[in-house]
Structure 1
Amino acid sequence: MSSWFSTAQHWLGISRIPVSHTEKLLAGLGGFVGIALVYSLSAAWLTDSAAQLLIASMGASAVLLFAVPHGPLSQPWPVFGGHVLGATVGVSCALLPLPLALNAALAVGLTIGLMHLLRCPHPPGGATALTAVIGGASVHALGFDFVVIPVALNALTLLVVAVAFNYPLQRRRYPAALAEFTAPPRASIAPAALQHPPPIEHAHLVAALSEIDAYLDISEQDLLRIYELATQFADADAHERPAIVLGGCYSNGRFWRRLGSTRNHRNSRCAAPSC
C-alpha cells in the first residue's frame, strides 16, 4: 500500500516537502490581508466585473508571495515587473484591430516571452495581460492608465504587505535576501569524508527541509539531481587541477615580458626547494 501511494505521489506531483501547520496558517493569513487591501483598491477604480478579473491575477500572486516567499517567481522584480509588463502588453494588444481571441492569445504569448527576456517571469502576469484584453469597457476606457492604477498600485500593495507581514519571523522575511537562517552546529569531518561525502538519502532531505520549514518550489528529485550534478562537476574540477607536489613545475599558461628583454616567457613556478 505504501509503495502504491509513493508511486501515486510521484506521478501526480504531490509534494512531500514537510511544512508545519504554523507556516500554513501564516501563509493563509498573509494572503487574506494582502487581497483585502488589493480588492479595495481595484473596486475603487474598476467596475465589479473588471475588478474581479484583475483580482484573480493578484490572488495568484498572493499565493506565491505568502506561501512561497523565497521562491524565484515570488521576488519583488518578478512580481512588479511581471504584472506591469503584462498590463502594458495587454493594453497594447487590445488596441490592435484583431479578433478578441487572437488579441488575448497574442497578449499572453508576448508577455511570456518578454518576461523571460527581462528576467521577471511571474505566472500571474499572464493573467493580468489577459485581463487588459478581455476586461471590458471599464478596463479599455482606462487605456494605459490601467498599467499604473490599479495594476502597478496593486502589485506594490502586495509587496509592501509581504515585507511587513513576513518581517517579524526571520525565516520568512521577504524578499529572500532578508531571510536569516541559523545553521546547526557541524561536527568535525575527517579529510577523507570531505573527498568522498556520503550519499544523501530521503531521510536526510526530510530532516533538512523540516529545518527550513517553508514550501520550496522544487521537488525532492530535482534536489537530488542538482546535488548529483554538482558533485560530478566538483570531481571533474578536482581532476583538472591536481594538487601541487614538491619538485614539480607548473604554469598558468600566460606570458610575461621581462624588463629590457624582447623574449616572452611562460609565467611558471617551480615547487622545488631550490626555487
Structure 2
Amino acid sequence: MSVRKEIKALAGIENNTTSHTEKMICAAGVFVGVMVVYWISAGVLSEPTGHTLMVASLGASVVLLFATPHGALSQPWPVISGNVISAAIGVACYKHIPDPYLGAATAVSLSVAAMHYLRCLHPPGGATALTAVIGGNEIHDVGYHYVLNPVLINVVAIVLVAVLFNLVFSWRRYPAHLTRRHKKTAETVPDKIEFELTQEDFAAAMQQMDSYIDVTSDGLTELLELAKQHAETHKTQPANIEAGLFYSNGRIGRSWSVRQVVAVNNIANPDKATVTYQTVAGHGGHESATCPRAKFLQWARFEVTQEGGRWVKVQAS
C-alpha cells in the first residue's frame, strides 16, 4: 500500500459513491428541513418566552435524516426517542448534580446507556443532553419544559418533513421500511449460489444504491466473511417438522422469511402429510397457508428461535 493510501486508510477517508444529484438532494433536504422546523418552532413560540427556537443538536439529526435516510440511526424511533429521553436525562442531571463537569459527563453517559437499552441510539441525543447542562440560563430557566419545547417539537417536525420530502424520490422513501416495501421481491431465487461475492461486487452495489451508507466496503466484506464462517460451523437441517416451532429458509435479503408451524396433519402417512404454517417474519409476513410436508421440509433450512429481538439458529441436539 502506498503512503498516500495508508494515510487515507488511517484517516478513514472513504470513496463517496453517491451521484452529484444525490448530493444536491441531501443538501436541499437539509435546507428545507431546517427552514420548516424553524418556522414551526417560531409559530409555536409566537410570544416571547425566553425559549430557544431550535436545539443545536438538531443540526446533526438533520444531517442523518437527509444524508443517510435509510440508516438505522436515522429512523423515527431513534430520532424522536433518542433526543427526548436524552433531554430529560440532561435536565435531571443539571438539577441534581451541582458540579457542572460531573453533571455534563453523567448526562451524556446516561443518555447513551438509556438509548442503547431502549433501542433508540441516536448520536445527536448526546448533544441534546449536554445542552441541557451547559446551555446557559436560557435553557436552565425552563427546566423540564426544555424536553417539550424545543426538543420534542423540533424532532417531531423534522421527522414529518423527512417523510414528506423523501416521498418525492422513489429511492429515498423514509422511514426505511417504506423503501423495502416499495421494492419488489424476486419471484424465484436459485437454491444454490454458484459464485463468490467479491470486494468489487460490494463497491458496485454501493454505487448502484446511490445513497450514502454508513459502513465501509471493507466492513461489509468482513461481515460477509464472518457470516460465512458462522454458517460453516453451524450447519443444521431440521430432521422433522413439529407444530409450534419456527423455521427459516436461510435466505439473505428481502426473500428471507420465518414460518411458524401451526399444525402437521396426517403424520401416519408421511407421503400425504401436510403442514399448516403462518409467516411471522420477513417476506410474506402474516400470511397463512398449507403445503405438503415434503415441500415445507425442502423450504426449511433450519429451526430458529427468537432471542433478544433477533432470530437465531437452534442447534441440533
- Which interval holds the TM-score relative to the shorter structure? 0.7 to 0.9
Give the drift of 1:134: 1.2
Counterpart pick for 1:241 among 237, 241, 260: 237
Give the drift of 1:251: 6.5
Change (3 A) 1:141 1:253: closer
Q: Return the structure number with greater helix share.
A: 1
Superposition TM-score, scaled by structure 2 size: 0.68
Range that drifts further, 126-135 or 14-23:
14-23
Residue of structure 2 equivalent to 1:136: 136
- Which residue identity is paired with 2:213? L
1:123-156 Cα distance to aligned partner (Å, 9 max, x none) = 1001011111111222122111111111000000
Residue of structure 2 equivalent to 1:59: 59
Matched, 1:229 2:248: no
Which 5+ residue runs of structure 2 have no aligned equivalent?
244-266, 272-317
Give the drift of 1:237: 4.0
Counterpart pick for 2:196 among 191, 195, 199: 199
Which 5+ residue runs of structure 1 have no aligned equivalent?
243-249, 255-266
Change (3 A) 1:35 1:253: closer
| Alpha-carbon contact 1:41-1:150 (below 8 Å) kept | no
Residue of structure 1 equivalent to 2:35: 36
Larger RCO (CA within 8 A; separation ≥ 6): 1
Give the SS at the match of 1:142.
Answer: coil
| Alpha-carbon contact 1:79-1:155 (below 8 Å) kept | yes
Residue of structure 2 equivalent to 1:245: none
Superposition TM-score, scaled by structure 1 size: 0.77
Residue of structure 1 equivalent to 2:315: none
Residue of structure 2 equivalent to 1:247: none
Q: CA RMSD in A?
A: 3.1
**1:1-275 alignment to 2 at 5 Å?**
3-41=2-40, 44=45, 50=52, 54=55, 56-179=56-179, 180-181=182-183, 194=192, 197-238=194-235, 240-241=236-237
1:31-55 Cα distance to aligned partner (Å, 9 max, x none) = 111112333455647758x557x2x
- In the alignment, the residues of structure 2 paired with residue 175 and residue 16 of structure 1 have an alpha-carbon distance, to the nearest angstrom, of 26
Change (3 A) 1:207 1:183: farther
Give the drift of 1:5: 3.6
Change (3 A) 1:15 1:185: farther
- Which residue identity is paired with 2:17? P
Give the drift of 1:230: 1.9
| Alpha-carbon contact 1:46-1:138 (below 8 Å) kept | no
Range that drifts further, 208-217 or 228-237:
228-237
- Which residue identity is paired with 2:25? L
- In the alignment, the residues of structure 2 paired with residue 178 and residue 97 of structure 1 have an alpha-carbon distance, to the nearest angstrom, of 43
- In the alignment, the residues of structure 1 paired with residue 232 and residue 118 of structure 2 have an alpha-carbon distance, to the nearest angstrom, of 34
Residue of structure 2 equivalent to 1:263: none
| Alpha-carbon contact 1:17-1:209 (below 8 Å) kept | no
Give the SS at the match of 2:160.
Answer: helix
- In the alignment, the residues of structure 2 paired with residue 23 and residue 185 of structure 1 have an alpha-carbon distance, to the nearest angstrom, of 30
- Which residue identity is paired with 1:203? E
Residue of structure 2 equivalent to 1:258: none
- In the alignment, the residues of structure 1 paired with residue 108 and residue 151 of structure 2 have an alpha-carbon distance, to the nearest angstrom, of 16
Q: How many residues get paired?
A: 242
- Which residue identity is paired with 1:36? M
| Alpha-carbon contact 2:91-2:133 (below 8 Å) kept | yes
| Alpha-carbon contact 2:199-2:221 (below 8 Å) kept | no
Give the drift of 1:241: 3.3
Q: Return the structure number with greater strand share.
A: 2
Range that drifts further, 89-98 or 123-132:
89-98
Give the drift of 1:228: 1.2
Range that drifts further, 199-208 or 131-140:
199-208
- Which residue identity is paired with 1:79? V
1:71-126 Cα distance to aligned partner (Å, 9 max, x none) = 10000000001110111001111111421121111111110111111110001001
Change (3 A) 1:158 1:215: same
Give the drift of 1:166: 0.5
- Which residue identity is paired with 2:155? A
